[in-house]
Amino acid sequence: MASITAGDIRKGTTFEYNGKGVYTVTEFQHVKPGKGAAFVRATLKNVVTGQVLSDITFNPTMKLETAQVETKKMQYSYTDGEFYYFMDPDTFDMITLNLEQVEDALKYIKENDTVTIKSLKGVAFSVEPENFVELKIVECEPGVRGNTATNAMKNAKVETGATIQVPMFVEEGEIIRIDTRTGEYMSRVGK
């Protein structure tokens, strides 16, 4: 496995940290105080569990073992109620994941949607939907006439079961675009 020095880390660098797992750098700062030795201060996020470690300091010459997180576009095929099946569109190989691994993505994906699966050393640990998805509203409160002048929002349930805040003018049966990174309504697409 390749290694880098702590002085070379940047945002997005992924490495094994103290045998605690694989972390990616979310923030970093090279500090050169007036007195004493320079150091690197970083915020790290565990790529598997999501645990965040703040204000971790490194000597710039410290060696870190890099880790390669693999990403692959796959197609969500189906669920049997217990497991979720994803197909590689190039090789038609199937991988099976459990609810814990796909739970966050399920709010925004339906069968045949393309997702990004992240894996470490051949073991998948995360499923991410596309950044923007279009889903149909299956349940929605009716808009109140005259309540469109403000940025009033209401709850709407989409076909995947997720509840999204939408403007008052959006109606049941419409297809809307959602930003999956924030869970926010973007626009109406049609009926």
Q: What is the mean pLDDT of residues 107-123?
A: 88
* C-alpha 119, offset from chain centre: 13
- What residue type is assigned to position 186 of the chain? M
pLDDT digits (tens, 9 = 90+) for 56-83: 898 888 898 888 888 899 999 999 988 9
Architecture per CATH, domain 69-129, reads as: Beta Barrel (2.40)
The CATH number for 3-66, chosen from 3.20.20.370, 1.20.1050.10, 3.40.50.12780, 2.30.30.30, is 2.30.30.30
Q: What is the mean pLDDT of residues 108-126?
A: 87
pLDDT digits (tens, 9 = 90+) for 141-155: 876 665 555 678 889
Q: And the tokens for 73?
A: 């576009």
The pLDDT assigned to 149 comes to: 57
Question: CATH for 132-190?
Answer: 2.40.50.140
Same fold, 69-129 and 132-190: yes
**Distance (Å, rounded) from C-alpha 77 to C-alpha 86?**
5
What confidence category does residue 87 fall into, taking pLDDT thresholds of 50, 70 and 90? very high
The pLDDT assigned to 101 comes to: 80
**Distance (Å, rounded) from C-alpha 117 to C-alpha 59?**
34
Task: Characterise 19 by phi-psi region: left (phi > 0), alpha (psi -120 to 50), beta (else).
Answer: left
The pLDDT assigned to 174 comes to: 93
CA angle 48, 55, 41 (to 5 degrees): 105
What confidence category does residue 99 fall into, taking pLDDT thresholds of 50, 70 and 90? confident
3-state SS, residue 8 = helix
User: Domains of the chain: which residue ranges?
Assistant: 3-66, 69-129, 132-190
pLDDT digits (tens, 9 = 90+) for 162-181: 999 998 888 899 999 999 88
**Distance (Å, rounded) from C-alpha 97 to C-alpha 183?**
23
Instruction: Please indicate whether residue 40 or residue 69 has the higher confidence score (pLDDT).
Output: 40
pTM for this predicted structure: 0.69
The pLDDT assigned to 145 comes to: 61
123's CB contacts (< 8 A; 6+ apart) are: none
Task: Residue 141: name the closest of 153, 155, 152 by CA.
Answer: 155
The pLDDT assigned to 1 comes to: 57
